[in-house]
Every structure is written in structure tokens, then in C-alpha cells.
């Protein structure tokens, strides 16, 4: 293996250990691309590849990827991990490839002493975001001894009429390159009342919030984040652009849903008062182009809350909707062999799937009282359909 290959690969490996999966810098792209060319000096590194077809996310963009498996019998116990390079090339004239680098750290093996390492595997996931089109993807794994495994596959994302394309045909992005959206120019305004939940659930809500802001394209947006379980308001934010949406993200990340005060527990009627007070702050007269969206998982209370005054103003009513996310339950879709070593990023992690519908809650009662629609969101496709249906209820659509 050439000294150039070894030096460049070593530099990439060291950088990836610090930063994780990131795009390769433009100035390093030409030399990095050369690493994908096989060399007579290559030493073999055994690995297997399972491509992951494009799937819709709650951000309403499509994610594709892979799961690489490396038998650990060929890996010395002192080795830290593998350098990972991904190149994805759109099959369009003049399109530039996406180059990503990563470092796949091996799981801790100290507890496996005395067992046959050849029976264990490290599983290395990765991915990227794609627009419509056809692509050729290449994966390169290399260890500190400069052993190399190369794999390639083709993928395609066909047009999907139910989802407005967030990425243009042939566009590719690393996960880290997808930013909070900017506001649109649509007349009227949007108020999102977000009921915070668990950290995992809040991640889905934040992705969905970004998709809603981007898809509905209002020029004025306000987000009110709160917790019905704890009966506290976390944030009330007028949104002018991405920095304000990041403040919403920070507020939810700093929220601890596991702590509930004794005063809340001993006052079962407090939820009605809290919701009534929360909605009272949104009762200024509203124009027909205004939309009010509740976003969250079902509350554990089906209390009747007084109908907001804004819902009784005849033709000047806002469009109300409740995006009621189906609570997930944990299942294992695929069971690894008993002797499989899990990669530290959870290749075999348990997966979340929707449960059966819960009974109507307090927010659904409010929404119906305001002549609004309740949409049960159990998948990104459900979210896309709900956004489209709500959009059609607004003037000018």
C-alpha cells in the first residue's frame, strides 16, 4: 500500500475520531476520491454490507444508508476501530458526489475474554439524505493496519406525490447539513402549541415541527412549548428564522419529564385550569388565514376545557388541527445471534412502532370544539398527509 494512501487514510481516521460522520472538506476531496480506487497493495479486510433503501423521516426528507458487518476474529484486541468513507454519486450529468468520513469505534471487548472472538461481529450503520433520482454508493472501511474492505450498491428514490420534495432531484446531504428551515412568504400566521414529552418523543416532535414550518411556508410563526403532565410552559417564542427554532430545541432538550411536583399530583383539576390559561393568551382576534396546530403525544386526561374565545368569532375563526402522535412501543424487529457484538451506536437497538390508538384526550376535545381536525400520526407518511390536509383548509389553497 502506498505511503500516500497510508498517510491520507491515517489523517482521515484521526479527524473522524473527533468529529464523527461529516462531509469531507472540498480541498481534501480529490485525494480522498483516490482512496476508492483498488490498489495491488491493498490488504483484505472481510466485511459484509446490507444497503438500507430510502425511507421517509419525520423531517419529511428521505434517508438512505447501510449496515456493514465486520467479523471480529480478524481484529486485534488493541485496535480502536475503523476509518469509514462513503461516496454517493448522483446518476445525473455534471452532478457532484457526496463524500463522508466517519470513525466506527469497536465495542468494549474486555468482558469477552476467554471466548472465541471469531464468533463476534461489529455492526456499523451509516446514512445520508437523498432527493429523487438514481445514485451509486460506495463504502470503504480501513483499519489501523491499512487493511481495506470496499463495497458498492445502487439506490433509487422515485417521485412521491404525497410528499413535497424538501430536497431537489439529485441532491445529497449529510445528516449534519440539514438545518432548521427559514420562514416562507405565505400570508397569515401559524401558532404551534407543542406538548413536550420524553427525550425520544421530543426528537420526533422537533423534526415534525421543522417539516411543518417548511411545508406550510408561513411568514409569521409562533411556537408555545409546554408540558401538560407537569403543567408548565417551557417557552413562548416568536420565530423569525432558524436561531429561534434552535431555542425551541434547546428548551425541549433541557426539559426533564421524569420530575413532577407534588402539587401537580394532588390537583387533578389543575390540567383544565392550565390549558384554559394557556389558550387564553392566544385569544386575540385572528384573521381567516391563521392556523393553530397542537403537536404532541396524547395527554393522560380527557377533561372538558372551555372553548377558546377565538373559536366563537364566526367567519374569523382560525383553522385548528391536532397532530396527535401515536405513542410508540418497543419491539425487536430482528434478533441478532446470541454471540453477536453490538456496535456502540445500537445497530441492533430495539425499534419503536406505534401502539393502538388511545382514547380522546383534552386537546382533541378542544380541537373538536373549535371545528378542527384531529390527525393520528403513527408514521412520517401520516404526518405528510396531515400537513397536506391542513394546508388545503387554509384560504388560497
The three cell numbers of residue 27 are 480541498
Helix axes 270-280 and 362-369, enclosed angle (nearest 10): 40
**pLDDT mean over 147-173:** 89
The CATH number given to whatever domain includes residue 217 is 3.40.50
293, containing H or E segment: strand 291-296
Task: Verify that 66 and 110 share a domain, yes or no.
Answer: yes
Of 149, 37, 68, 137, the C-alpha closest to 97 is 137
* C-alpha cell belonging to residue 183: 420562514
Same domain, 226 and 173: no
The string of DSSP codes covering 64-101 is: EEEEEEEEGGGS-TT--EEEEEEEEEESSTTPPPEEEE
Highest mean pLDDT among 19-33, 95-109, 173-187, 263-277: 173-187
Other beta carbons less than 10 A from residue 373's beta carbon: 16
- Say yes or no to pLDDT of 338 above 60: no
Query: Both 131 and 271 in a single domain?
Result: no
Is the pLDDT confidence value at 269 over 90? Answer: no
pLDDT digits (tens, 9 = 90+) for 1-41: 455 555 656 665 565 555 568 999 889 889 888 889 888 87
CB 286 within 8 A of CB 316: yes
Q: What is the mean pLDDT of residues 315-331?
A: 74
Is it the case that residue 214 has pLDDT exceeding 90? yes
The DSSP annotation for 307-324 comes to PPGGGGSGGGPPEEEEEE
Same domain, 238 and 211: yes
75: in domain: yes
**Residue 43: alpha-carbon gap to chain centroid:** 37
Low-confidence winner among 148-157, 187-196, 260-269, 378-387 (lowest mean pLDDT) = 260-269
Q: Looking at residue 343, what is its pLDDT? A: 36
Do 84 and 220 lie in a common domain?
Answer: no
Q: Please classify residue 333 by burial: count the beta carbons closer than 10 Å to its beta carbon, then call 0-12 exposed, 13-18 middle and 19+ buried.
A: exposed
Mean pLDDT, all residues of the chain: 81
CA angle in degrees (0–180, nearest 5) for 181-184-187: 145
pLDDT tens digits for 326-335? 876 544 444 3
User: For 20, how many CA atoms within 13 A lie in the half-sphere containing its CB?
Assistant: 8
Which of 69-78, 115-124, 156-165, 373-382 is modeled with the greatest confidence?
373-382
Q: Is residue 185 part of a domain?
A: no
**What is the model's pLDDT at position 64?**
96
Residue 141 lies in a domain: yes
Q: State the total domains in the chain.
A: 2
Phi, psi angles (nearest 5°) of residue 127:
-175, -175
Q: Residue 1: what pLDDT?
A: 43
State the DSSP string of 219-254.
S-EEEEEEETTTTEEEEEEEESSHHHHHHHHHHHHT
Please state, as a whole number, how many other Cβ atoms lie within 10 Å of the Cβ of residue 220.
Answer: 17
Judge contact between 190 and 221, C-beta under 8 A.
yes
Three-state secondary structure call for residue 7: helix
- Does one domain contain both 224 and 158? no
Same domain, 94 and 230: no
Q: Which of 287, 274, 280, 302 is nearest to 360 (CA)?
A: 302
Q: Which domain holds residue 308?
A: 190-393
Torsion on CA atoms 385, 388, 389, 393, rounded to nearest 10 = 170
Work out whether strand 133-142 and strand 147-157 pair parallel, antiparallel, or are unpaired.
antiparallel
- 271 falls within a domain: yes
* Residue at 282 is within a domain: yes
| The model's pTM | 0.83
Looking at 133, 156, 177, the residue that finishes a domain is 177
Q: What is the pLDDT of residue 277?
A: 81
Q: Do residues 172 and 194 both lie within one domain? A: no
User: Mean pLDDT, to the nearest integer, of 194-220?
Assistant: 92
Choose the final residue of a domain: 177, 209, 244. 177
Q: Does 226 share its domain with 329?
A: yes
Is residue 381's pLDDT more than 50?
Answer: yes
325 and 265 part of one domain: yes
Q: Are residues 205 and 336 in the same domain?
A: yes
CATH number at residue 16: 2.60.40.2550
Residue 184 lies in a domain: no
Closest alpha carbon to 120 in 70, 45, 66: 70
Q: Is the pLDDT of residue 172 over 90?
A: yes
Domain end call among 177, 202, 231: 177
pLDDT higher than 50, residue 347: no
Q: Look at 332 and 262; give whichever has higher pLDDT.
A: 262
Residue 225 grid coordinates: 412549548
275 SS3 class = helix
Residue 240 lies in a domain: yes
The answer to whether residues 331 and 255 belong to one domain is yes
Return the pLDDT at 85.
93
In a domain, 182, yes or no: no
Amino acid at each position: 500500500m502506498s505511503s500516500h494512501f497510508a498517510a491520507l487514510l491515517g489523517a482521515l481516521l484521526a479527524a473522524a475520531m473527533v468529529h464523527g460522520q461529516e462531509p469531507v472538506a472540498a480541498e481534501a476531496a480529490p485525494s480522498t476520491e483516490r482512496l476508492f480506487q483498488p490498489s495491488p497493495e491493498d490488504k483484505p479486510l472481510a466485511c459484509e454490507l446490507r444497503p438500507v433503501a430510502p425511507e421517509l423521516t419525520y423531517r419529511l426528507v428521505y434517508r438512505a444508508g447501510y449496515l456493514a458487518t465486520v467479523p471480529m476474529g480478524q481484529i486485534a484486541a488493541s485496535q480502536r476501530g475503523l476509518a469509514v468513507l462513503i461516496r454517493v454519486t448522483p446518476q445525473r450529468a455534471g452532478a457532484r458526489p457526496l463524500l463522508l468520513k466517519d470513525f466506527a469505534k469497536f465495542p468494549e471487548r474486555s468482558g469477552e475474554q476467554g471466548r472465541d472472538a471469531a464468533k463476534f461481529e461489529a455492526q456499523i450503520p451509516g446514512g445520508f439524505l437523498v432527493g429523487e433520482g438514481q445514485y451509486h454508493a460506495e463504502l470503504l472501511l480501513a483499519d489501523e493496519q491499512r487493511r481495506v474492505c470496499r463495497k458498492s450498491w445502487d439506490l433509487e428514490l422515485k417521485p412521491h406525490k404525497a410528499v413535497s420534495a424538501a430536497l431537489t432531484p439529485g441532491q445529497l446531504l449529510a445528516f449534519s447539513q440539514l438545518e432548521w428551515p427559514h420562514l416562507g412568504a405565505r400570508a397569515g400566521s401559524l401558532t404551534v402549541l407543542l406538548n413536550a414529552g420524553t427525550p425520544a418523543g421530543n426528537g420526533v416532535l422537533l423534526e415534525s415541527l421543522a417539516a411543518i414550518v417548511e411545508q406550510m411556508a408561513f411568514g409569521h410563526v409562533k411556537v408555545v412549548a409546554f408540558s401538560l403532565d407537569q403543567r408548565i410552559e417551557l417557552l413562548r417564542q416568536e420565530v423569525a428564522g432558524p436561531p429561534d427554532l434552535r431555542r425551541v430545541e434547546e428548551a425541549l432538550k433541557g426539559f426533564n419529564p421524569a420530575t413532577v411536583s407534588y402539587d401537580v399530583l394532588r390537583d387533578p383539576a389543575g390540567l383544565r385550569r392550565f390549558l384554559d390559561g394557556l389558550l387564553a393568551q392566544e385569544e386575540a382576534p385572528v384573521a381567516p388565514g391563521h392556523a393553530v396546530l397542537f403537536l404532541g403525544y396524547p395527554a393522560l386526561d380527557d377533561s372538558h376545557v372551555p372553548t377558546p374565545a377565538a373559536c366563537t368569532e364566526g367567519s374569523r375563526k382560525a383553522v385548528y388541527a391536532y397532530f396527535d402522535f401515536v405513542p410508540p412501543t418497543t419491539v425487536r424487529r430482528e434478533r441478532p445471534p446470541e454471540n453477536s457484538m453490538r456496535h456502540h451506536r445500537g445497530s441492533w437497538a430495539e425499534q419503536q412502532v406505534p401502539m393502538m390508538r388511545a382514547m380522546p384526550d383534552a386537546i382533541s376535545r378542544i380541537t373538536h370544539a373549535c371545528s378542527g381536525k384531529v390527525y393520528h400520526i403513527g408514521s412520517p407518511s401520516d404526518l405528510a398527509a396531515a400537513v397536506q390536509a391542513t394546508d388545503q383548509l387554509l384560504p388560497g389553497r
